[in-house]
Structure 1
Amino acid sequence: MGLFIHLFIFVVCFSTTLGKNVEHAELVVDSTVVLAETDENYICATIDWWPHDKCNYNNCPWGFSSAMNLDLNHPLLSKAVEAFKSLRIRVGGSLQDRVKYDMGNLDYTCHPFAKGDGLFGFSEGCLNMSRWDDLNNFFMKTGHKISHREWGGDWNFSNAHDFMNFTISKGYQIDSWEFGNELSGKGIGAFVGAEQYAKDIINLKAILDKLYKNFHPKPLLVAPGGFYEKEWYDKLLEVSGSNVVNVITHHIYNLGPGVDPNIVDKILNPLHLSKVSTTFSSLEQTIKKYGPWASAWVGESGGAYNSGGRHVSDTFVNSFWYLDQLGIAAEYNTKVYCRQTLIGGNYGLLNITTFVPNPDYYSALLWHQLMGKGVLSVESSASPHLRSYAHCSKERAGVTLLLINLSNQTSFKTSVQNTASRIVVTIEEISKRKKTFVHHLKEAVSWIGVKASDVYIYREEYNLTPQNGDIRSKIMLLNGDPLILTSDGDIPSLAPVHVNTSSPLSVDPLSIKFIVLPNFIAPGCK
């Protein structure tokens, strides 16, 4: 019996190996010019207002993650955000339009959100200033850039005015003030017409100019924080006028409701992932035509709406969607991309009870550390299942590639060419001609941009896979090692493997790989 079992396992493994396909592909990176550019702090995460009893589909995944009650003293929370060195945080969410600020002049007692008959089934919520002090102390300690939201609509600005004035008096640094949440177009729960919205934005701009008249630079005015509808967004910019709105924000949940049983299929479907390009392209055209002074941000995106997909949004498979959308958004001049959420819901970067990072946290951190502002064009001969993106490397010379393999059967072997020289990176064909590496290193001087000498030319690889091959695993592997907290409870270092450039560049099925090419000549990145 034992012999039969061992033989069976061998046959199964052998058959699976034979079943895998290998596809050869060529990537051509145009390094001569930057296609688009992101902000230095492209990666952003949100802290929402939802209370612990916010539930969807008989699941209540928010815990104590609200701006009102998040444990700001939890050591892992600080460590997780400090790892970014500078992380943009957006404070706000669906209940933003129901927030009041306790400035000592309210005619009722300040209470947090509670179940009730109001918007989304909750009462108004009140933020007291001692909590605002705590939040800002945390932000300053951990090096955040803060975006905060205000009410949009038939706007009584007195409470917000007092709140902003208090913020200034305490010396709190706010990077941007955003007006409203999901009130554009048909709205979510409530809506405001574009013309009314524009008039209220003009009032807010006047308030910001007055309160911040001695500040340089002034905080950005951001709006509308809703789902993109072309006519509404066009009208908003047209009516509000030149240099009023600094940033146009929109929200994206292109995976549908969190309860959808087909979320994983959507994530692994390249055609579905590419559909969102239409939205990014249309918004880019809206800004060019009606607001060329403004830039585009994704103000909120969690993949699946209604708190995300349970046992999906907090697992490895979600990084296929997340990193792919970061890549697409950047190609359309999106300056900032805010992930819903830092913590809270099923889509949080951190677990709501333990604060331990989920796989997407490490994906975000790797992007933040490796991908620079300059976006480069990539042409690929591969099937659509291999998603490819290229950026100038961050704070160093060279180029960084992001390759995402959505196929569960096909492994891709790729060569990378540079339009500046058309020299093949992997030097795979050169090896076949049986010439020495050093000899062909000298031939490749125009690609690597260094003196031809007997030096070790390498690339850095960050290969991301799920633990035990389970794409719904909550443990991500980096170059085969699990990304878990150190024995001291610290965020693990994200170290690459150094691979000789003469080695073939391959991407296994259902894996993600960042590749840093430090010697790649990129005139457009200078």
Structure 2
Amino acid sequence: MSVALSVLLCLLWTQTDGVRIGDPNQNRSEAPDVAVMADLSAVIRRVEPRFLSVTIDASLASEEKFMFLLRFGGTRQDFMVFTPQRPQPDSGFTADPSCDKLELPSWLEDKLKTEWTRQQMVLMREDLQRKYRRVKFTENTVDLLHSFTNCSGMDLIFGLNALLRTADNSWNSSNARSLLQYCESRRYRMAWELGNEPNSYEKKAGIRVDGQQLGKDFTRLRQMMSQSRLYRDAGLYGPDVGQPRDHRTDILGGFLQTGDEAVDACTWHHYYVNGRDTSLEDFLDPEVLDTLALKTNEVLEKVKLVSPGKPVWLGETSSAYGGGAVGLSDTFAAGFMWLDKLGLAASLGLDVVMRQVFVGSGSYHLVDDNLDPLPDYWLSVLYKRLVGPEVLKLRAFRGAAAGKRVRLYLHCANRKSYRSGAVTLMSMNLSRKPARISVPALVSGTVEAFVLQAERPGEEGLYSRSVKLNGDVLKMVDDKTLPELTGSRLPPAEHLQLPAYSLAFFVFTDAGAAGCL
């Protein structure tokens, strides 16, 4: 989640609109660009079943009416104040709106979408100016948010405002207590976090909070939760620090000294680049992708030193900070950063990766302003369906032509979709040329291939907001129905060619991997 399996099964891909098998009698002496050896005998790591998670940015609650677009973290989490407007019901009363009553009339949905587009421009200007106004939210926001996650089968982690401080700079917990009491009265099962990127409090609000004080604040929240029958065993996660840089590691270290026992997992944030001055080349640069390993190892080492065994999560992450890179973070190009992050994070030992953002302001969202899926949404759905939580050991031997631009990760296949023993190879080709790969499996086994390419070929296609699966453009059947996401079943062949600028999942259904049985 080790005797290496040395049987190499090879397939051939050609860059066409579909998937085709090459001539099995082709020249077998020609070496592939990448030869892969995998150990299928044991799992080296196992991540949480909730490994791929998503965030909903608190900006959506900047005006409460936009919460109706959900059929929350982020920067504004620390500027939100719970403002009750109706009497709380008796503790035995539950009034969560039923799932079949959440649908909006089409005219109202269209009106809110149009207004949300304008609202995003206002929020982006505030971000650029670093001017954050206090946002009041009522029980309606909490009800709608809980209903959305409950009806979607999601677990909810609610981010509390940590910038409410007392005169001695400790956390003022009175507003959070009111919110917890309301949620308990409604029997809303949820987990909690406190604050967002405490390393930037001074820049955002002129307030400096050191790590040790932060740990004490979390301990205070845990004590409040312990007084609640409903939340005494609920999850608490934090401190959601930014990635290691300058004093940020000091905040994490100080937090762990005083607050590590309060949290169920230690959370931090990671972005590769600044969204305001990045480029397509950055999104395809293996050296940029490798920076995740450096930052992750820094965090893991610090947590292990103070709190060995404590799970570590990426509590917020995407391609580029500052709201994403316009014209890149919501295009096919972003998929290389996203899939590589999922593969690398699991192999390094991160238990959960929370993608910023499912819906909210910025340009790194998974659905567009019309709530239609963007490329990373489709990629995430396929990952959820095809990839299991168990990580297998893989070694790739690359020729000069492939370099680091072919990146591969191996997991047991998702057992809800495939029989035990099946394995899934996640593959990506960041090069403009096809890559020939040898992959491990049983020679007689069948492979299901799911190859994602941009709607248009070549480098220009990387800016596309549409994606093809095995040659067919993915589109919703209607407002509620996903299309069939089926793979191409391939018989054994000699070599595999991963198309230029492509992402792929290869499921070896008959691998019989001992580690996956």
TM-score (norm 1): 0.76
The residue type equivalent to 1:413 in the other structure is R
Note the alpha carbon deviations across 1:379-430, whole angstroms, 9 max, x for none. Answer: 1012211000011111132111100100112x2222223xxxxxx65x5xxx
Q: Match for 2:468 among 477, 492, 502?
A: 477
Partner of 2:93: none
CA drift at 1:134: 1.8
The equivalent position to 2:211 in structure 1, one of 184, 194, 197, is: 194
* 1:343 pairs with 2:343: no
Change (3 A) 1:117 1:355: closer
Unaligned 5+ runs, structure 2: 1-29, 88-118, 164-169
CA shift for structure 1 position 49: 2.2
Residue 492 of structure 2 is aligned to residue 501 of structure 1: yes
Instruction: Tell me, yes or no, if the aligned pair for 1:393 and 1:400 is still in contact at 8 Å.
Output: yes
Secondary structure of 2:359's partner?
A: coil
Mapped partners of 2:63, 2:385: distance in 1: 27
Retained in 1: the 8 A contact 2:58–2:76? yes
Q: What is the CA distance between 1:489 and its match in structure 2?
A: 5.5
Gaps of 5+ in 1: 1-20, 52-64, 79-90, 107-111, 418-423, 428-440, 442-456
Residue 264 of structure 1: how far off its partner (Å): 1.2
Structure 1 runs, 4 residues or longer, greater than 4 Å off: 112-119, 185-188
Q: Percent of pairs identical after alignment?
A: 26
1:412 equivalent in structure 2: 435
Partner of 1:96: 77
Q: Distance in 2 between matches of 1:129 and 1:117?
A: 26
Contact 1:198 1:239 (8 Å CA) reproduced: yes
| CA deviation after TM superposition for structure 1 residue 131, in Å | 2.2
The answer (yes or no) to whether the contact 1:47–1:67 under 8 Å persists in 2 is no
Question: Contact 1:33 / 1:376 at 8 angstroms: preserved in 2?
Answer: yes
Structure 1 residue aligned with 2:314? 298
2:219 matches 1:219: no
1:99-132 deviation line (CA, Å, top 9, x unaligned) = 11013599xxxxx999989993122111101221
Q: Does 1:135 align with 2:145?
A: yes
- Distance in 1 (alpha carbons) for counterparts of 2:429 and 2:82: 47
Q: Kindly provide the amino acid, as one letter, of the partner of residue 492 in structure 2.
A: T
Cα deviation 1:116-163 (Å, max 9, x = unaligned): 899931221111012211221222212111011112363110110110
State the Cα deviation string for residues 311-364 of structure 1 (Å, max 9, x = none). Answer: 111111110111111111111221211111112321110002x11100000011
The corresponding residue for 2:14 is none
* Aligned equivalents of 1:325, 1:348: Cα separation in 2: 16
- Residues 40-189 of structure 1: matches in 2 within 5 Å? 40-50=49-59, 68-70=64-66, 72=68, 78=71, 91-104=72-85, 120-152=130-162, 154-174=170-190, 176-184=191-199, 189=204
CA 1:498–1:170 in 2, change beyond 3 Å: closer, same or farther? same
Which of the pair has the greater relative contact order for Cα pairs under 8 Å at 6+ separation? 2
1:22, distance to aligned residue in structure 2 (A): 9.0
Deviations, residues 403-461 of structure 1 (Å, cap 9, x unaligned): 0100112x2222223xxxxxx65x5xxxxxxxxxxxxx4xxxxxxxxxxxxxxx31110
Partner secondary structure for residue 32 of structure 1: strand
Partner of 2:449: 461
What is the CA–CA distance in structure 1 between the aligned matches of 2:371 and 2:473, rounded to whole Å?
17
Q: Where in structure 2 are the equivalents of 1:290-369 lying within 5 Å?
A: 290-344=306-360, 345-352=362-369, 354-369=370-385
Distance in 1, matches of 2:128 and 2:337, equals 33
Q: Which amino acid letter does the alignment assign opposite residue 43 of structure 2?
A: V
CA distance in 2, matches of 1:388, 1:336: 20
SS at match of 1:272: helix
| 1:67 CA displacement | 8.0
Contact 1:249 1:298 survives alignment (8 Å): yes
- Secondary structure at the aligned position of 1:248 is classed as strand
CA deviation string 1:205-227 (max 9, x = no partner) = 11111114x668x2211111121
Q: Distance in 2 between matches of 1:66 and 1:388?
A: 41
Task: Using the TM superposition, name which of 192-201 and 287-296 deviates more.
Answer: 287-296
In the TM superposition, residue 24 of structure 1 has moved relative to its aligned partner by: 2.9
Looking at structure 1, the residues matched to 66 and 379 of structure 2 have their Cα atoms a distance apart, in angstroms, of 23
Which whole-Å CA distance do the structure 1 matches of 2:409 and 2:63 have between them? 34
Q: What is the RMSD of the two structures over their aligned residues, measured on CA atoms?
A: 2.7
Q: How far apart, in 2, do the equivalents of 1:49 and 1:185 lie?
A: 17
SS of 1:276's equivalent?
Answer: helix
How many pairs are equivalent?
430
**Alpha carbons 2:54, 2:355 under 8 Å: kept:** yes
Q: 2:294 aligns with which of 265, 278, 290?
A: 278
**Residue aligning to 2:405:** 385
Residue 239 of structure 1: CA displacement?
2.1
Mapped partners of 1:488, 1:304: distance in 2: 29
| 1:230 has 2:249 as partner | yes
Query: Distance between the aligned counterparts of 2:202 and 2:175, measured in 1?
Result: 23
